[in-house]
Amino acid sequence: MNKQDIERINELARKKKTVGLSASEMEEQQRLRRQYIEEFKANLKDTLDQVYIEREDGTYEKLKKKPPVN
């Protein structure tokens, strides 16, 4: 996501608080927010994929995803 997209998200948020958004602007805002969140998640996942845990015996283990709690 480039700087102009982030600025547009902020611009739409300010406009929504003051005068409101048209239907097309609301769709654009949702699309840009969704794109931002997906890119954020992907960057976070890439970062977590590089994390290792050092055990007490000095060995390293790759960070694992926890199973879902039922």
pLDDT band at 55; cut points 50, 70, 90 = very high
- Hey, what are 6's tokens? 């982030």
What's the pLDDT at 43? 96
pLDDT single digits (tens) 35-48: 999 999 999 999 99
pLDDT band at 63; cut points 50, 70, 90 = confident
* Residue boundaries of the structural domains of the chain: 3-62
Task: Identify the three-state secondary structure at position 61.
Answer: strand
8 A C-beta contact, residue 40 and residue 10: no
- Hey, what are 70's tokens? 């039922």
User: What distances in angstroms separate CA 62 from CA 1, 53, 56, 65, one per listed residue?
Assistant: 29, 6, 14, 10
Domain range 3-62, CATH architecture: Orthogonal Bundle (1.10)
